[in-house]
Structure 1
Amino acid sequence: MKLAAYAHLLGEEAARLRELFPADGVARFWGATPAASEGNEKGKALRHCRVGDEVLFYNQWKFIARATITAKFRSTRLAEALWGKDEETGATWEHMIALGDVVEFEIDAKPVLAALGINGALRGLRLESAEKRLGVISHHGLPWSTPTTTIGLPAPRKPKTDSPSRLERQMLLQAFSRLRTHSGRGGPSPHKPLALLWSIGRVEAGKERLVPWDVFEREVGALLTEFGAGSQVTPHYPFSHLRSSGIWEMEGVADKVKDPGPGALRAAGAKAGFVDEAARLLRKARVRAEAVKLLSSTYFPAADQPRVLDRVGLAGYLSASGRIEETVGDSVGDTGPVKRRVASGTRLERNLEWVRQVKHWHQDTCQVCSEPLEVLIGHYSEAAHIQGIGSPHHGPDRLSNMLCLCPNHHKQFDGLAIYIDPEWKVRRTRDDEFLYELRRHPQHRIEQQHVEYHRVLCGKND
């Protein structure tokens, strides 16, 4: 379409679209009618697609084109002018996406659909993760413009310049998700994922990347005894075999020695750990959070995850607020109706002026439920950090990383029971059900990167 012909219908999108299509004012659009449910495949795809993502177009068992999303908006008037209305439902294709870098082709879709576990034709919109794009779809001859494209909708957003490249991050996460684990009577062996989580704990604690065999044998051996599900306690197995993942290296033993035993490792003074590039990526808070969530949820039952993460020093990832650093001493005896103990520790020093400011902007009203909590004198609210300022999250103490919440929703937010989606909707983590629209204030600017980090902890990667 020529933008000039529809200028009166573009509204607030006019300036942005003219910037995107300045040459001749001709733009390509794609649209979708509203989803029957926000929780179905179509609803999720419409909700989570982003500028910079890639789209594959499908028709009758063939992929016929790919394009990049350059703008995303909603306009009933423009959609009706372009495409009219669906004769059966009366709906129009109001979820609109402007397309760039369009490439037309014709490729058999059946192998790709089979690799994705789709039986039969592709119907409606479907969202596939970047991990699946890299791990499953990459090998089917599709003309991607970048190595991080996903099928259907969408691919990851273009990273900020101060972040690790998306390709690097996705390759690392792919390696974690595709570990070759031995399966015995008790199910898949936890040797490799336990060793990797333990090693991530070392990275988070700022310890050396490569660890001597005697330390690995002692500490990872103890983890295998506790969480091995009946498997043999053989820490030398992940120590050397993780080399096949491409993110792990071993010093002191030649590569051609595939399976050195404990004695050989000890005699060689062997060390092992993440390759330097993987360790560099894992020093980034978000990458580390993604890796911890992926490994724990993929390889360990939900009931075991808190115990496993606690034992490897990563318990802080079970809460958005992080670890509480407190030491409890001996009882001091009867100093009242309840016995007391001496406790010591450290407390993060918050900027109280910013706490007062965020509460003032929102008038002590929860940004989630919009309910002010009345107390004897006035109302009560809590200033919550989105990306926790404690370890291991190390978020900043500033207004753009804060919310004004009631105690209930503060607890749920920190406990990862609710999250904020990319369109500022508050959803329940376990089933993505829409709960509330997040209340905003024009002076309260919230940085997306902190909201994205919280979604990672909830397992809702963009």
Structure 2
Amino acid sequence: MKIDGVGQSEAEIPGADEVQWLLQPRGTARLGGPKHFRHSVREGIRLSDPKYVEALGGHADALSEIFPDGVARFWGAITPKKANSEKGVALRDSRVGDEVLFYGEKKFIARATILAKFRNPALAEKIWGTTDDGAIWEHMIALGDVVEFEADAMPLLAAIDGPDDKLWGLKLVSARERARLLDKVAPPSPTPGTASVPAPRKSESASPATLERQALLHAFSTLRTHTRPGGPSLHKPLTLLWSIARIEAGEDRLASWDVFEREVGGLLAEFGGSDSQVTPHYPFTRLRSRIWEVEGVLDSVEDPSPTVLRESGAKAGFVVEAAQLLRKARVRAEAVKLLSRKYFEAADRPLVLERVGLGGHLSASGQTETPGRGDTTENEGAAGPVKRQRVSGMRPERDVDLVRQVKEWHEDTCQICSEPLEVLVGYYSEAAHIQGIGSPHEGPDVLGNMLCLCPNHHKQFDRLAVYIDPAWKVRRTGDDEVLFELRRHPKHHIAEKYVEYHRLLCGKDA
């Protein structure tokens, strides 16, 4: 079952000057418009909801790829009676990458980017039901992060349709017209003595150029890679992982060619494959897109040589908005999971993540299995031949009162296996953070982010061998078998958002 937008390369998605507007009426209350908007656009549809699983059918995998967090945002349209009507043309000629402007009560009320187009009557009926005459909103679009705002629709509609004062149906505005009319879709400036326009619901700007999280992840999932006998070329995915590691480490989003050539070149030599040339200058410039920029070299120069890059002092990396998104732990975790699972299936993924500097994503705590990595010095131990390491670094300071409290609530009994571990004096347990409080996860040191575990299950939970499902069952990550039900205490309120983050690390976020 085909979905437009899946498997599409970034190069095939319209650039900023090619984006069209799809003007979409929200619909009247009689047809359920406000209710449908709230349900499937503002709140979103959880793809794992049993109500929708069967209806997803052959679209399930593709939609899970488009929405890595498992929550999809959809809108639909009824098949028009005439294929060449204005609505029919809008359905046919709108594209992935175009922008939807939702209209209601003579105002534009929200905007979003089209991430995919597909037709699924069964899913549409499950989400929105049918009209009184049995029609289904079966022509579906998947939407990027939605920004809600309010702007007078009359200036744009007047410029398009003349004196008509209402948007009567679906309408497509060409890229050229959109560029000419951008200033017609903006919240009006408040005048003295009047209330200001409500701010967007999300933190993102309402500007059409704003890069959204879903668009960023979609760009990662649709890289245009060269296919080799052993699978896709790893030049671009390795470069992106390496660049994410730089963001995580607080380094400049743009890397100089000298640094890029040395470090990415080394990664390509190690993981690029025996039949792949070490050519770091290719991803340096060929990644140029909405999420990646190159300074010092004209866009018209497609494949500058290493000499040209060196002499021009070229730099490359994520654009500002992409870097800002990737500074958020949740977005970073989603991006690392998506890239490593999609492009490194045949590789040693843990080793790849360690090498690029993202080894912290292999555990919930963020600690790697290699102790002392970083600023360490080795010394011969005075009492024997075993080498010793002097380790320097920063470790998050834990609140010992919180540790004591969670252990007291559970009486040193593991919340997973319900077994207390007896020691010489009393019992022993460990307080485990669900979303690690150190880098790269940046979780908070609060009781809602903690569990009381035995050492064995603490290690398994931290190394992502087990996870907690939405029904509080503890499952084995490898095969999803239920092992235990998490023991809970009435005073210990575990925040679901931290459990969801841990599931994301385990690849069980949907």
* TM-score bracket relative to the smaller structure: 0.5 to 0.7
Is residue 273 of structure 2 the alignment partner of residue 229 of structure 1? yes
Aligned to 2:26: none
User: Which residue among 212, 224, 235 is the counterpart of 2:256?
Assistant: 212
What's the Cα RMSD here?
3.7
CA distance in 1, matches of 2:223, 2:56: 35
Shift of 1:332: 2.1
**Structure 1 residues not aligned, in runs of 5+:** 1-20, 22-26, 29-44, 62-100, 108-132, 150-158
CA change 1:185–1:57 in 2 (3 A) is: closer
Q: Quick check: 2:242–2:356 contact (8 Å CA) kept in 1?
A: yes
Shift of 1:446: 1.4
CA distance in 1, matches of 2:380, 2:364: 31
Shift of 1:137: 3.7
CA distance in 2, matches of 1:291, 1:222: 22
Residues 419-454 of structure 1, C-alpha deviations (whole Å, 9 max, x = no match): 112222211111222222211112111122211211
Is residue 410 of structure 2 the alignment partner of residue 429 of structure 1? no
TM-score (norm 1): 0.66
CA distance in 1, matches of 2:228, 2:211: 34
For residues 44-443 of structure 1, the aligned pairs below 5 Å read 48-49=48-49, 105=78, 134-135=115-116, 137=118, 142-144=138-140, 147-148=143-144, 168-230=212-274, 231-244=276-289, 246-301=290-345, 304-323=348-367, 326=372, 327=376, 329-334=378-383, 339=386, 341-346=388-393, 347-443=395-491
CA distance in 1, matches of 2:363, 2:281: 32
Shift of 1:138: 8.4
SS of equivalent to 1:411: helix
Aligned to 1:124: none
Shift of 1:102: 10
Residues 88-128 of structure 1, C-alpha deviations (whole Å, 9 max, x = no match): xxxxxxxxxxxxx9988469xxxxxxxxxxxxxxxxxxxxx
CA distance in 1, matches of 2:288, 2:236: 11
Is residue 443 of structure 2 the alignment partner of residue 447 of structure 1? no
Shift of 1:164: 10
CA change 1:370–1:328 in 2 (3 A) is: farther
Aligned to 2:178: none
SS of equivalent to 2:212: helix
**Aligned residue type for 1:290:** E
CA change 1:210–1:342 in 2 (3 A) is: closer
Count of matched residue pairs: 342
CA distance in 1, matches of 2:266, 2:504: 29
> Larger relative contact order (C-alpha < 8 A, sep ≥ 6)?
2
CA distance in 2, matches of 1:60, 1:294: 22
Q: Quick check: 2:413–2:421 contact (8 Å CA) kept in 1?
A: yes
CA change 1:59–1:299 in 2 (3 A) is: closer
CA distance in 2, matches of 1:188, 1:342: 40
Identity of matched residues, %? 61
**Aligned residue type for 2:382:** G
**Aligned residue type for 1:449:** K
Shift of 1:387: 0.6
CA distance in 2, matches of 1:225, 1:191: 10
CA distance in 2, matches of 1:384, 1:300: 30
**Structure 2 residues not aligned, in runs of 5+:** 1-28, 30-34, 37-44, 59-73, 81-113, 122-136, 146-199
Residues 296-349 of structure 1, C-alpha deviations (whole Å, 9 max, x = no match): 1211146511221111111111111113673352122226xx846253334432
Q: Quick check: 1:47–1:422 contact (8 Å CA) kept in 2?
A: no
**Aligned residue type for 2:440:** P
CA change 1:379–1:328 in 2 (3 A) is: farther
CA change 1:423–1:160 in 2 (3 A) is: farther
CA distance in 1, matches of 2:502, 2:48: 15
**Aligned residue type for 1:239:** F
Shift of 1:400: 1.1
CA distance in 1, matches of 2:352, 2:429: 34
Q: Quick check: 2:79–2:138 contact (8 Å CA) kept in 1?
A: no
SS of equivalent to 1:426: strand
CA distance in 2, matches of 1:198, 1:402: 31
CA change 1:47–1:425 in 2 (3 A) is: farther
CA change 1:424–1:258 in 2 (3 A) is: same
Residues 26-74 of structure 1, C-alpha deviations (whole Å, 9 max, x = no match): x99xxxxxxxxxxxxxxxx999339xxx95996999xxxxxxxxxxxxx
